[in-house]
Amino acid sequence: MHRLLKRQLKKIGYSDTQELDNESIKRLLDLVDQAYKDADQDRQLIENSLEVSSMEMQKLYEELKKTSQQKIQTTEEKYERLVNNLQHYYFFYSHGKDGVYDYVSHSMTKMLGYSEDEFLNHYSQFLTTNESKKLANKFKKHTFEGLEQPPYTLNFKHKDGTIRNIEVMELPVLDDERKVIAVEGIARDITDQINAREQLNYLAQHDALTGIPNRYSLLNKLEKIIRRNKRDNTQFALLFIDLDHFKNINDTLGHNIGDKLINAVVNKIQPSIRKNDVFARIGGDEFIIVINRVSERNLIGFIKQTMEKIREEWLIDEFEIQISSSIGIAIYPEDGTDSQTLMKNADIAMYKAKNVGRDTFSLFTDEINQQIQEEISLEKGMAKGLENQEFVLHYQPKLDVNSNKIVGIEALVRWNHPKKGLVSPVDFIQIAENTGFIIKLGRWIIEEACSTVTRINKKCHTNLHVAINVSARQIENDNLHQVLKSTIEKTNVEPSQIQIELTESILMEYSKNIIKALKDIKSLGIVICMDDFGTGYSSLSYLNKFPIDVLKIDKVFVDEISETNEGVILLDSIIAMASTLNLQAVAEGVETPFQRQYLQKLDCPHYQGFLFSKPIPEEELILLVQQQSV
């Protein structure tokens, strides 16, 4: 009997031993009916719940499906945009194991100019070299073997005929059994990057102005040349070339003219440089030529030819320019077995050529090296010497040719070196010029000389003037006008008691820069002297151009005066010219009474020289002046 029926019969009091009456049967039927109703309600509730759950599940499913489709669509759109954007820079392709191309993206046409059909059917014909074809086949073979390949570069001929560098990367396509069934590739044009890299490499190796090798390239080439000559036991020469006074051209005519001149010089020399030699620019006006396997005779001939090419007159724009060069030579292996030593020694030899007058060449020797080292030692000691008050001034009297009275003095610097004793300016002034120390030393000389003449005039009740030599470097790089003005205020010297002396060569070489400076100096009341007149250009136009007050006649003309000579034409002419132009004349280097007498006849007003006195310290000078006052 069903357990539910048993429960219902139990509720109406039925047992197995009694029979049901009508009332009990009715009650039983009511209970059974209610049970079915309750069961129906439960079933309906469950069905409703299932229906609601089903609807919610369906809704959730639809939402998930929609979201997934949106995500898939978004992802597909994203990758589609990515691929489309990449097609400006890449093209895609694929081919089977037989090597036959079955797909190429349309972006290939933009990159290489061919149609898709042309590329698919004639791919290998567009590779420019057998090397490119071998490389493509090699990497294709490795990819089919399942090997991972790095990107590689092929040279393709564009349809317009230009050569393009295409970087390729290929990946294998695998089946379910991990076997390679095809290859897919991506390619991009890297021609511009390669050209840019080559351009950067070129710029790193070549001088930007002239296009010839620069210092970096020279050192690399020089190392190779040294190794080769060491192996072959042969020699080579290294030439260090410096253009003389090139800075003046930049300063007076402008850097654009200087640059054009540099290019013109390079173009003139370049054709004579052999294939295995090196021609490099290592600085503004400095060049190196390395000559392999050359005899001494041929080397000297080459150097002279090179100097002659540089020495010719150059027409740059509307300017006619005359230049020269100084060349130093070092020979491998005698003068050095490494690039640094060879260049240093060639530089030393070039420096020697500068010192002996420029427009020449010098071979490196141990003697030159010793001399240069001596100069370097002096260079290092000068600044310390000035601090330690080792520099002193000696003064050479300037005299009236008729009365033989002292009218002025010339200040001449000496270096009282603690180890070398009294060092002549001949040994250190040029070094001071080259290093720029002349600026500081020149200021000290001006102030000390003005202080001296003030003391002497006050003590001896005289009105002497002092002549001070100044260099081109001081005028170019120092505010000489302001230095003199400050010195006048500091020392209470009368401006008319100061005479500034410049050599004739300086006035000519720095003419454009110096005219204004001299006019500013003269506006202070200072006298301008042209020193060593007659040894340089000696042109009347120069005397008219510059604000010159005094001509100092060089000793070489005075030396010609002797009792056996009836006359000295050049000396006579210079003194007459000075008188005509209302300029004072001073004869330098007078050593004999006859020379003084000759100058008296010519009405040369002043002289100086050993006839009266050599340059002497201030104390001795004061005694001389006092003696003349007695």
- What average pLDDT does this structure show over 395-415? 96
CATH number, position 149: 3.30.450.20
Q: What angle do CA 594, 597, 598 make, to 5 degrees?
A: 85
Query: Is the per-residue pLDDT at 511 higher than 60?
Result: no
Listed residues 53, 82, 111: the one ending a domain: 82
Tell me the pLDDT tens digit for each residue of 339-349.
999 999 999 99
Please state which of the ranges 352-361, 460-469, 546-555 shows the lowest mean pLDDT.
352-361
CATH number, position 294: 3.30.70.270
Listed residues 45, 66, 82: the one ending a domain: 82
- What average pLDDT does this structure show over 473-479? 76
| pLDDT at position 200 | 84
Rounded to 5 degrees, φ, ψ at 276 are -90, 0
**Range from 29-33, 55-59, 136-140 that averages highest in pLDDT:** 136-140
Determine how β-strand 325-332 pairs with β-strand 550-553.
Answer: unpaired
Taking residue 271's Cβ as centre, other Cβ atoms within 10 Å add up to 7
pLDDT band at 409 (very low <50, low <70, confident <90, very high): very high
Residue 369 lies in a domain: no
Question: How is residue 398 written in tokens?
Answer: 């300037």
| pLDDT at position 437 | 86
Dist CA 184 CA 262 (whole Å)? 56
Bridge-partner residues for 13, per DSSP? none
Residue 505 lies in a domain: yes
pLDDT band at 36 (very low <50, low <70, confident <90, very high): low
Dist CA 185 CA 170 (whole Å)? 4
| pLDDT at position 66 | 66
What single DSSP character describes residue 405? -
Please state which of the ranges 87-91, 309-313, 481-485, 576-580 shows the lowest mean pLDDT.
87-91
**In 296-354, where do the E strands start and end?**
313-316, 319-322, 325-332
Please state which of the ranges 232-241, 371-380, 444-453 shows the lowest mean pLDDT.
371-380
Query: Is the per-residue pLDDT at 236 higher than 90?
Result: yes
Query: Which residue reads 């009341």 in tokens?
Result: 525
- Confirm if 203 and 218 have CB atoms less than 8 A apart: no
**In 36-179, where do the E strands start and end?**
90-96, 101-104, 152-157, 163-174
Which ranges of 123-214 does DSSP label H, i.e. alpha helix? 130-144, 191-205
- Confirm if 334 and 223 have CB atoms less than 8 A apart: no
Sign of CA dihedral 306, 310, 315, 320: negative
Listed residues 82, 115, 136: the one ending a domain: 82
Query: Which residue reads 């209970």 in tokens?
Result: 31
Residue 370 lies in a domain: no
Tell me the pLDDT tens digit for each residue of 162-181.
889 888 888 888 888 878 88
Residue 32 lies in a domain: yes
pLDDT band at 457 (very low <50, low <70, confident <90, very high): very high
pTM for this model (two decimals): 0.54
- Counting residues of the chain whose pLDDT is more than 70, the rounded percentage is 83
| pLDDT at position 441 | 94
| pLDDT at position 536 | 58
Greatest distance between any 2 Cα atoms in the chain: 190
Query: Is the per-residue pLDDT at 509 higher than 80?
Result: no
Residue 496 lies in a domain: yes
- What average pLDDT does this structure show over 64-81? 58
Q: Which residue has better confidence, 313 or 543?
A: 313
| pLDDT at position 588 | 94
Residue 615 and residue 478 share a domain: yes
Query: Is the per-residue pLDDT at 502 higher than 80?
Result: yes
Residue 230 and residue 96 share a domain: no
CATH number, position 590: 3.20.20.450
Sign of CA dihedral 595, 601, 602, 604: positive
| pLDDT at position 427 | 83
Residue 159 and residue 130 share a domain: yes
Mean pLDDT (the chain) is 84
Which ranges of 492-592 does DSSP label H, i.e. alpha helix? 504-509, 511-522, 540-545, 555-558, 569-580
**The domain containing residue 73 runs over which residues?**
3-82
Contacts 24+ apart (CB under 8 A), 254-258: 257/316, 257/317, 257/319, 257/321
Sign of CA dihedral 30, 35, 38, 39: negative
pLDDT band at 312 (very low <50, low <70, confident <90, very high): confident
Dist CA 155 CA 324 (whole Å)? 50
| pLDDT at position 135 | 82
Which of 10, 12, 16, 5 lies closest to 27, judged by CA?
Answer: 12
- Confirm if 66 and 39 have CB atoms less than 8 A apart: no
| pLDDT at position 478 | 66
pLDDT band at 405 (very low <50, low <70, confident <90, very high): very high
Q: Which residue has better confidence, 243 or 50?
A: 243
- What average pLDDT does this structure show over 414-432? 87
- What average pLDDT does this structure show over 4-25? 66
Residue 530 and residue 449 share a domain: yes
Please state, in angstroms and as integers, the Cα–Cα distance from residue 359 to each residue in 324, 325, 427, 535, following that order: 5, 5, 21, 18
| pLDDT at position 50 | 59
**Range from 164-168, 212-216, 514-518, 568-572 that averages highest in pLDDT:** 212-216
Dist CA 249 CA 64 (whole Å)? 84
Residue 539 and residue 468 share a domain: yes
Residue 96 and residue 78 share a domain: no
**Range from 36-45, 86-95, 329-338 that averages highest in pLDDT:** 329-338
Q: Which residue has better confidence, 19 or 300?
A: 300
Residue 420 and residue 482 share a domain: yes
What's the total number of domains in the chain? 4
Residue 252 and residue 149 share a domain: no
pLDDT band at 586 (very low <50, low <70, confident <90, very high): very high
| pLDDT at position 43 | 66
Q: Which residue has better confidence, 99 or 551?
A: 551
pLDDT band at 624 (very low <50, low <70, confident <90, very high): very high
Residue 117 and residue 14 share a domain: no
Dist CA 580 CA 371 (whole Å)? 47
Residue 518 and residue 399 share a domain: yes
Residue 375 lies in a domain: no
**In 521-568, where do the E strands start and end?**
527-533, 550-553
Residue 188 CA, chain-centre distance (Å), reads 36
Give 203-265 as a DSSP string.
Answer: HHHB-TTT-SB-HHHHHHHHHHHHHHHHHHT--EEEEEEEETTHHHHHHHH-HHHHHHHHHHH
Please state which of the ranges 72-81, 233-242, 582-591 shows the lowest mean pLDDT.
72-81
| pLDDT at position 416 | 92
| pLDDT at position 374 | 74
Query: Is the per-residue pLDDT at 541 higher than 60?
Result: yes
Residue 404 and residue 338 share a domain: no
Which ranges of 529-611 does DSSP label H, i.e. alpha helix? 540-545, 555-558, 569-580, 593-601
Dist CA 150 CA 166 (whole Å)? 14
Residue 205 lies in a domain: no
Dist CA 583 CA 437 (whole Å)? 33
Dist CA 493 CA 487 (whole Å)? 8
Residue 203 lies in a domain: no
Tell me the pLDDT tens digit for each residue of 270-283.
999 998 899 999 98
Tell me the pLDDT tens digit for each residue of 347-380.
999 988 887 778 899 888 877 677 767 777 777 8
Dist CA 215 CA 206 (whole Å)? 8
Please state which of the ranges 80-94, 153-167, 311-325 shows the lowest mean pLDDT.
80-94
Dist CA 402 CA 432 (whole Å)? 38
| pLDDT at position 343 | 95
Residue 94 and residue 78 share a domain: no
